[in-house]
Structure 1
Amino acid sequence: MAIEKMSLVNIAGLMDELDATLKRCCESGCFHIEPAGNSPDSAMKPLSEKNEYDRPLKELAQLSAQLGITLKETDFTDCDLSAPQDFNSLFEKYNTPFSELNTKRLELTQRISELGGAVRQIDHLKGMHSDFQQLFSMKYVSVRIGKLPVDNLPKLDYYDENFFFVPFETGKSFCWGMYFVPERDKQRVDDIFHSMYFERIRIPSYVSGDADEALGKLKQTIDADTVENAKINEQINELAAKAEPELQKAFSKLRFIHDTFDLRRNAAALNDKFYLKGFIPEKEKDRFDKLFEDMRSVSVVYLPPDADASCEPPTVLKNNFLTRPFTMLVEMYGLPEYKGYNPTAFVAITYTLLFGIMFGDLGQGLLIVLGGLALKKKLGAKISGLVTRLGISSMIFGTLYGSFFGYEELLDPVFENIGLDFLPLKVFKQTNFILITAVAIGVALIVISMILNIYIGFKNKDYEKAIFGCNGIAGLVFYSSVAAGLVGTLMFDVKVMSTPFIIFLIVIPLVCIFCRTPFSIAVKYKQWRLSEDEEKMTVGNFIVENFFEMFEFLLSYVSNTMSFLRVGGFVLSHAGMMLVVMTLMEMCSAAAQPFVLVLGNLFVMVMEGMIVAIQIIRLEFYEIFSRFYEGGGKPFEPVGVKFTAQTE
């Protein structure tokens, strides 16, 4: 697996051809544009023009939303609009009738709402047979209509004031009614009722007659306004149906013109000529050339990707069918630099292997595969492919464990007939073997990570990283020697740790790691000298600083290795959880056992499957990637037009 080779593209031509050039760059789908006028030594200056299509784009998007039109990419080859005023004219063509109808609709909607509120208020006053206009036109007496909390109703008897309260309807919480008060006493009485939480209902001025008559008139008015409002909505829908084809084409073309015009800010100009630069995949050269064959004033020149120091080539991970779904995991950590290493294949192998080991079950793995295939449309091809591959790995290791939906003895006859007496692996009978194997897998992956780091270091001529670093040759020799010495001594009772072994394979590598910076400079420049920071550093400071770094390196060797114990731990955890499910099933009646088995398996699959997936990501990022991988690459983003109604 590698990184797609890029070519730096320089495009130059007359200013009259700039928009057409940008349009073809967008149509290519493979041109990653870079700012052309960012070099201080260049005589060409970047273009800084205001996009005149901003306002028409926002207006058309807003009008379409108000008409209920969902904008989408539409063929606009037969759309003759081009200048901003053309799109403004189209906007006015449909916005003027819509605004008139919408104004009427809003007025009717507001009036219906107000009338509805009046109906709800007056509905509680059905027992009142007095005319509202007569009540409110009295000269010496004021009337207040509203509702009073039921608990405060008896308290009115304690006030010796000139008012009387007439109740009409009493509910659980409130009593609706009205009180009469002389004009000269209304302020004092209003304060009393306000202190008792009286909520006044203001009857609209247009209400006439008694409560029943007013309700009848209001409902008739509401019904008439509702019919009129429905007619206006129908007219708006007809207008939208008439306008939709034209608005769809106009918006698609406007979006294309707007976005390509926005790209002008990446161009540089000098007199009547423009200059563009960017990157394309090397394999797209021929196709890209054909786009400009008929543009005689436009020249396209290809250069090596590192020819311009002011811009960094973007990274495109080149993966095959088997490893492509795991690209998303690498992108989560960060893309490698253009000249870096593509670790997708390594991640695909290690992640799939670890998932199968930690979540091995033939039946559950089969369900994961089927689930990944069934949810391909909803999850997407990448996630579906990843889930499917993990399910296959789970099936393979589930077969080795002899586990099928928690039945650990089901596959035993199969292996007996084949003659493989060492299979299946019985988890609880081979606990030590599983834990030791987990640590061995960790050691192997760490060693492979160090080898990758050495390869990348030599490729980039970083000798400190490749030879003297904690993950370079010195670190590899030290770590491998300590691991081999411990295994030989503790497991096979072989005295590997002799004096020459310790001096040459443990002490000297540690010294190299301790003095990695000056040693790497001596190798690179063929002479002994210190870096600028080290020249300012005293011998004591150098020893203390590197001592603590050495301690951190040694601690990381131990912690990273022991971290792989979780691989074996999850093997035991999975078997233990399925044992609990089988025990619960046996405790239930025969009728309930199938339900317990199904629910138990689903619970284990969901909970443990998610935990295992997360834990493997942690192992990949912290124990493996940290030894050789550096992100910081720039994603490849070809210019194009996004046909959405959203505007910035």
Structure 2
Amino acid sequence: MIFPENMVKAEIFFQKEKIDDIVTSILKFGKLEPIEANSSIQGRMEEARKELGTVQEHVNKIKIIMDIGKVIIEPKGKLTISGTWIDMAKKVNEKATELEGKYRFLLEEIGRIRSEIEILRAQEKEILPFKEITVDLSSLYSLELFDVLLGTVNETKIDKLRQEIAVVISSKIDQNKYAVMLIDKKGKINKEKIQREYGVRILELPENNSPHEIYVDIEKRISELQDILERSRTKLAKSLQESQNEIKEVYGQLLTIRDALTVMSKAKLSDYYGEIQGYVPEKDIKNLKGLLGDKAFLSYRRPKYGEKEEPPTYIKLPKRMKSIESIIELYGSPSYWEISPMIFLVFTFPFLFGLMFPDFGNALVLLIFAIWFFKYGKKKGSLNTINLSLVLIYSSIAAMITGLLAREFFGPLLVGGPREILNSNAYPVGPLYYVWPVPVSVSNALKYILPFGHYTVLSTEIENAMILSILLGAILLFASSLIGVIDAVKKKDREFIYFEKLPLVILYTVPLIIFGYGITNFSNYFGQVENLLGAILYNLFHSFSPNLSTPTYALAYILLLWVEIGLIYNWGAKTLLAKRHGGVSLGGAVGIGFVEGGFEAGILLLSNTISFIRVLVFALSHYYILYAFSYMGLLVFSYKGLPFAVDAIIGGIIVVLGNLLAIALEGLIVFIQDMRLHFYEMFSKFYEGRGKKFEPVAAYVVLEEGAEKQKLEVPVVLSQ
């Protein structure tokens, strides 16, 4: 989970007539990613390449049919191996063509309706800014005293147009376009000129029809077409339900044949022999040997850093954790030579999300949504949707745990009640106060991590929570920079170690020492850290006469020197790299080194560390948004001017709206900020994300040997 699996480059040599057996063994093996064979053999299976394109077209069409028909996109069934893979490709292509023909009429009808709706939507968008005009354009354009034109113009031309035309009434359509009404004296508006010089697109509509009437007609027609479209989709879905196993089997067969043809298209063949190359996890190479048996000769070698071709990256994960990969791939696939950031995401992503979104009720709603989103993704066959929903499930579960500990359930009203909201023991507690599974004493003990709840929030508790947030950031940043050094060591690149990664470790050791200093007197942890921060601030402003009277002040001065030396080291390293690889003069290299290695590195050291305060900030903002709506709801509830039932309903609506706002807005923002902390603060220290994901060929259906498997000559077209 930390290091990618060791890969080897396998070379499979075989007699040409055995290529189909070899391909079958590779598909059953399921862990070889074929590559273009680097061989002196020049022959290619051009027919395999040709059939591969046809198969891929059928795969795309079948997926569209399944998607429109609301059938779960997944392969099922079996494939009987009979004849060559080229023969099987042709047979399955015929089967797919027949299956597509069965639904062609419905698909064409749906496609036609969709196209018409898209055209109408474009027309609707064009007329939308003028929909309130009830005068037909023929009358509007033929006034006796004035010229009037309606149209659209780019943002860059509208100011010049205002100088040309007496009156320009405008309304912004999108980022770069305005809808305009042009009005001037009769004969003043030169239609051809404003079209040619200002790019105005004049609105042209049928005579005797106003924009309002046409807009209403378009809306009506779109509604009618959507009803027809839904009926057609329902009809297709009903038809597919009856034969969904057949279509899933054809889909699986097509995917399997696609991978078989991929292997064959990358193979090299002579008149008598063939060669297939690909990457295989080193620990599985014996299994491949066993499957090939005496049909082929297998050799392999381990890749080396610096080679032109980099191996694909394969990180073996438990099935339930593979969804985390989807977040990493937003940044880029890890290189074969990098430590995977998975170890961070598996634990830290849900953990930080839970700290920033601590409410059991809100997190429960988010969990329900994530489960629905998972089912939707599974139905659509969208792996990205499935993975993203799983990440959201894990994160919402973590948020439920922190909400449980913080005694928060849709805000403070239901647990803490009026006593917490109004901060007075004269008021009652909430209905869940005494049945909540986590006692008050536990929540009090966690006040430095979650500084809110049923007790009065003090400024010192906020300060202490800030220190803990930054401590968490200091630990993660130091670990990130240390992993960068380990990556460089793994690559055996000394320049990368000493001039890129080692300076970062030196610099990011300082925040770890500062905010870890409190463990020297754990009972007074926060006091120790605050004393060291004060000593650093003092010695920073008294650099020429530092205070070294106590161990704390002496350490503060050492840390300041440490940062200065680290920045100078980084400056020199970046200068050397710029001189060696940047093709600049010594003076230019020194300037670049100062900006990147000195100034920018110092700013990032401070900003990256402080950035983790957002963990506390978003937790507080979430709590106080719900606190504010709970307070307003309580005020309405206690209002005596309306009947009790009306007060209760209005107050309840206010609280519900507040929670919906918190779930939708805060949930999205926290998810984005969680990703930001990982991508920019942590990953930037060690992760490049320039690798290629391991994508082996495989059998998507069960492969069965036919009763009479034919051994046919494989057609080979030699290409120089």
The normalised TM-score by structure 2 is 0.57
Is the Cα–Cα contact under 8 Å of residues 19 and 261 in structure 1 kept in the other structure? no
The equivalent residue for 2:594 is 547
From 541, 566, 570, the equivalent of 1:509 is 566
The equivalent residue for 1:581 is 629
Mapping for residues 97-112 of structure 1, pairs under 5 Å? none
Equivalent AA in structure 2 for residue 557 of structure 1: L
The equivalent residue for 2:507 is 475
From 677, 696, 702, the equivalent of 1:638 is 696
The equivalent residue for 1:346 is 344
Asked if residue 386 in structure 1 is aligned to residue 433 in structure 2, the reply is no
Distance 1:8 1:478, change over 3 A: same
Is the Cα–Cα contact under 8 Å of residues 478 and 510 in structure 1 kept in the other structure? no
Equivalent AA in structure 1 for residue 276 of structure 2: L
Distance 1:509 1:412, change over 3 A: farther
The equivalent residue for 2:649 is 591
Asked if residue 32 in structure 1 is aligned to residue 33 in structure 2, the reply is yes
Is the Cα–Cα contact under 8 Å of residues 355 and 612 in structure 1 kept in the other structure? yes
Distance 1:434 1:591, change over 3 A: same
Distance 1:338 1:438, change over 3 A: same
- Measured against aligned partners, the alpha-carbon deviations of 1:302-328 in whole angstroms (never above 9, x if no partner) come to 332449945422111223467443222
Distance 1:540 1:499, change over 3 A: farther
From 607, 620, 623, the equivalent of 2:678 is 620
Q: How many angstroms does 1:257 deviate by? A: 5.2
Q: How many angstroms does 1:594 deviate by? A: 3.6
Asked if residue 496 in structure 1 is aligned to residue 568 in structure 2, the reply is no
Mapping for residues 276-355 of structure 1, pairs under 5 Å? 276-293=276-293, 296-306=294-304, 309=307, 311-320=309-318, 323-355=321-353
The equivalent residue for 1:359 is 357
Partners of 2:8 and 2:14 lie apart in 1 by: 19
Q: How many angstroms does 1:76 deviate by? A: 4.4
Q: How many angstroms does 1:385 deviate by? A: 3.6
- Three-state SS of the structure 2 residue aligned to 1:578 is helix
Is the Cα–Cα contact under 8 Å of residues 11 and 299 in structure 2 kept in the other structure? yes
The normalised TM-score by structure 1 is 0.63
Is the Cα–Cα contact under 8 Å of residues 59 and 91 in structure 1 kept in the other structure? no
Provide the aligned length of Structure 1 versus Structure 2: 491
Mapping for residues 90-489 of structure 1, pairs under 5 Å? 260-293=260-293, 296-306=294-304, 309=307, 311-320=309-318, 323-373=321-371, 376-379=374-377, 382-407=387-412, 408=416, 409=420, 418=441, 421-424=444-447, 425-427=450-452, 428-429=457-458, 430-469=461-500, 471-477=503-509, 487-489=530-532
Partners of 1:306 and 1:468 lie apart in 2 by: 22
Equivalent AA in structure 2 for residue 541 of structure 1: G
Is the Cα–Cα contact under 8 Å of residues 361 and 405 in structure 1 kept in the other structure? yes
- Three-state SS of the structure 1 residue aligned to 2:46 is coil
Equivalent AA in structure 2 for residue 316 of structure 1: Y
Equivalent AA in structure 1 for residue 588 of structure 2: N
Q: What are the ranges of 5 or more consecutive residues in structure 1 without an aligned counterpart? A: 107-148, 153-195, 199-239, 521-529, 644-648
Equivalent AA in structure 1 for residue 395 of structure 2: L
- Measured against aligned partners, the alpha-carbon deviations of 1:349-371 in whole angstroms (never above 9, x if no partner) come to 22122111111112323443455
Equivalent AA in structure 2 for residue 341 of structure 1: I
The equivalent residue for 1:45 is 42
Greater Rg by CA:
1
Q: What are the ranges of 5 or more consecutive residues in structure 2 without an aligned counterpart? A: 110-135, 140-205, 209-239, 379-385, 421-429, 518-527, 539-549, 638-646, 702-720
Distance 1:50 1:365, change over 3 A: same
Partners of 2:620 and 2:60 lie apart in 1 by: 59
- Measured against aligned partners, the alpha-carbon deviations of 1:491-543 in whole angstroms (never above 9, x if no partner) come to 578762679726852333233222226889xxxxxxxxx97458x75543333
The equivalent residue for 1:155 is none
Partners of 1:435 and 1:354 lie apart in 2 by: 14
- Measured against aligned partners, the alpha-carbon deviations of 1:198-219 in whole angstroms (never above 9, x if no partner) come to 9xxxxxxxxxxxxxxxxxxxxx
Equivalent AA in structure 2 for residue 45 of structure 1: Q
The equivalent residue for 1:127 is none
- Three-state SS of the structure 1 residue aligned to 2:31 is coil
Q: How many angstroms does 1:466 deviate by? A: 3.8
Task: Report the identity percentage.
Answer: 24
- Three-state SS of the structure 1 residue aligned to 2:292 is coil
Partners of 2:530 and 2:700 lie apart in 1 by: 59
Is the Cα–Cα contact under 8 Å of residues 507 and 563 in structure 2 kept in the other structure? no
Q: How many angstroms does 1:384 deviate by? A: 4.4
Partners of 1:627 and 1:595 lie apart in 2 by: 47
Equivalent AA in structure 2 for residue 22 of structure 1: V
Distance 1:34 1:561, change over 3 A: same
Is the Cα–Cα contact under 8 Å of residues 340 and 456 in structure 1 kept in the other structure? yes
Q: How many angstroms does 1:582 deviate by? A: 0.4
From 76, 80, 86, the equivalent of 1:77 is 80
The equivalent residue for 2:9 is 8
Q: How many angstroms does 1:402 deviate by? A: 3.1
Partners of 2:89 and 2:377 lie apart in 1 by: 42
Please give the root-mean-square deviation of Cα atoms over the aligned residues, in Å.
4.9
Is the Cα–Cα contact under 8 Å of residues 266 and 276 in structure 2 kept in the other structure? yes
Partners of 1:392 and 1:13 lie apart in 2 by: 53
